[in-house]
């Protein structure tokens, strides 16, 4: 059945091919590029060159293309929570918040209002269906590129209106399609950085927004080993850039924003037997004590754990998950849902 689909086109190869494949499948396709950020940054989907790539691909495909200016909403829903999280000693996932509030929030709402049946993106993940027809999110076919983690929050009502045409393909296949269609984005390299921060300038970005609030660096036993210029520079699990020479490999094991204290320790001090979640969301809540596959980073190797109501009990001790990070739970390749590590 032909659908009217609004494709979020970032100017990258994945969303270019997503639009092309939907068109080939006979759908009525319109492209849109979101302008999310007006500040200085050299990457992400807001540069004029990327918008131009999206526009040129749309023109080549013969589909209409528009730009939506969501900078106000992006600042409010993504950038401010991002800096707030660092100020609170947490480690945010801005791409997750952007997906939650912008692409699958604001854009989806607007698409529905305009009469589109669905929106599509170039994410490497798949929308599958259970035996009763209800949609679920599944890992993308290309394990190395799987992005289901950053879509962990999509509920069934949203999934019913989301199309992910490249999720069934490997990245190599995506590029082959792009070459076959002679899309100008076929060989474009992918961006992996936070789109609103200039590469390598995260510290100065955070400092410009949060200022400097120096505090102590201490060992597990409380001994002071130095000073830092602000808790926003630290993430639990971090090893580099501690600013002190301790003569041995040390890791950040805790960040306490209230007392501005950053605690460092050995790798063993980082290990935890469980991960407690807040704001958990599930399309399918795992059963009590169900064994699940647990992913705690966008491209991290999953580990095995058991679901206990508000926490995952790890099969073997795992490095502490930085508070604020998404913890996604899977049953095989099916994403069950997840929450935020506390």
Partner 1 sequence: MRPEAVAAMLPFLSDHPGNPSGGHAVARAAKTALEEAREEVAGILGCAPGEVVFTGGGTEADNLAVKGGARAQRSAGRDGIVTSVIEHKGVLAAAARLGTEGCRVAEVGVDRGGVIDLDQLDAVLDERTAVVSVMLVNNEVGTIQPLPEVAARVRARAPRALLHTDAVQAVPWLDVAEWVADFDLVAISGHKFGGPKGVGVLVVRDGVTIEPEIEGGGQERGLRAGTVNVAGAVALATALRITHERRTTEVERVLVLRDRLVRGLAETVPSVFFNGDPEHKVAGSCHVAIPGVESEALLLTLDAAGVYAAAGSSCSSGASEPSHVLAAMGLSRADALASVRLSLGYASTNSDVATALDEIPRAVARLRSAVAV
Catalytic residue numbers read 98, 195
Which residue, 65, 47, 68, is CA-closest to 56? Answer: 65
Query: Which residues are CB-neighbours of 79 under 8 A, at least 6 positions away?
Result: 37, 94, 196
Query: Which residues are CB-neighbours of 280 under 8 A, at least 6 positions away?
Result: 310, 337, 338, 339
Rounded distance between C-alpha atoms, residue 104 and residue 234, angstroms: 30
Q: Categorise residue 62: left if φ over 0, alpha if ψ from -120 to 50, beta otherwise.
A: left
Does the footprint of partner 1 cover residue 68 (CB under 8 A)?
yes
> Pick from 2, 26, 40, 69: which binds partner 1 (CB under 8 A)?
69
Please report how close the Cβ of residue 109 comes to partner 1 at its closest, in angstroms.
Answer: 8
Rounded distance between C-alpha atoms, residue 133 and residue 131, angstroms: 5
Does the footprint of partner 1 cover residue 282 (CB under 8 A)?
no
> Pick from 5, 13, 46, 166: which binds partner 1 (CB under 8 A)?
46
Sort 335 into a burial class: Cβ within 10 Å, 0-12 / 13-18 / 19+: buried
Does the footprint of partner 1 cover residue 30 (CB under 8 A)?
yes
32, 107 in Cβ contact below 8 A?
yes
> Pick from 112, 202, 260, 297: which binds partner 1 (CB under 8 A)?
112
Please report how close the Cβ of residue 84 comes to partner 1 at its closest, in angstroms.
Answer: 23
Per the document, the length of the chain is 342
Interaction mask 179-218, partner 1, x per CB under 8 A: ----------------------------------------
> Pick from 115, 133, 222, 247: which binds partner 1 (CB under 8 A)?
115
> Pick from 3, 55, 155, 213: which binds partner 1 (CB under 8 A)?
55
Rounded distance between C-alpha atoms, residue 334 and residue 316, angstroms: 22
The pair of structure tokens assigned to 18 is 């997503």
Which CB, 45 or 206, lies closer to partner 1? Answer: 45
Q: How far is CA 39 from CA 9, 36, 170, 278, in A?
A: 20, 9, 33, 32
Does the footprint of partner 1 cover residue 260 (CB under 8 A)?
no
Which CB, 53 or 146, lies closer to partner 1? Answer: 53
Please report how close the Cβ of residue 69 comes to partner 1 at its closest, in angstroms.
Answer: 4
Please report how close the Cβ of residue 25 comes to partner 1 at its closest, in angstroms.
Answer: 20
Interaction mask 301-320, partner 1, x per CB under 8 A: --------------------
Q: Give me the residues that bind partner 1 (CB under 8 A), please.
A: 30, 32-33, 35, 46-48, 51, 55, 64, 66-69, 109-110, 112-115
């Amino acid at each position: 059945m032909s659908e009217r689909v609004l494709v979020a086109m970032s100017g990258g190869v994945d969303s270019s091919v997503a639009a092309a494949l939907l068109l080939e499948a006979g759908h009525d396709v319109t492209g849109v590029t979101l302008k999310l950020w007006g500040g200085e940054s050299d990457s992400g989907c807001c540069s004029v060159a990327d918008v131009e790539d999206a526009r040129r691909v749309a023109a080549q495909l013969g589909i209409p293309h528009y730009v939506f200016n969501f900078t106000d909403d992006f600042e409010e829903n993504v950038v401010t929570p991002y800096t707030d999280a660092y100020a609170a000693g947490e480690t945010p996932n801005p791409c997750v918040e952007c997906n939650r509030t912008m692409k699958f929030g604001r854009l989806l709402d607007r698409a529905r209002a305009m009469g589109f049946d669905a929106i599509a993106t170039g994410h490497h993940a798949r929308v599958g269906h259970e035996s009763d027809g209800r949609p679920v999110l599944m890992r993308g076919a290309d394990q190395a590129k799987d992005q289901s983690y950053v879509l962990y929050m999509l509920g069934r009502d949203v999934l019913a209106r989301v199309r992910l045409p490249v999720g069934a393909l490997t990245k190599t296949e995506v590029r082959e399609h792009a070459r076959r269609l002679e899309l100008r984005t076929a060989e474009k390299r992918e961006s992996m950085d936070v789109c609103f921060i200039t590469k390598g300038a995260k510290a100065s970005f955070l400092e410009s927004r949060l200022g400097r609030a120096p505090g102590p660096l201490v060992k597990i036993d409380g001994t002071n080993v130095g000073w830092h210029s602000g808790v926003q520079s630290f993430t639990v699990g971090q090893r580099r850039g501690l600013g002190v020479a301790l003569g041995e490999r040390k890791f950040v094991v805790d960040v306490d924003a209230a007392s501005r204290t950053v605690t460092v320790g050995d790798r063993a001090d980082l290990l935890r037997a469980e991960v407690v979640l807040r704001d958990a969301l599930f399309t399918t809540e795992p059963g009590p004590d169900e064994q699940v596959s647990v992913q705690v980073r966008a491209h991290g190797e999953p580990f095995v754990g058991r679901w206990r109501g508000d926490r995952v009990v790890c099969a073997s001790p795992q490095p502490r998950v930085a508070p604020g990070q998404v913890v996604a739970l899977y049953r095989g390749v099916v994403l069950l849902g997840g929450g935020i590590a506390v």
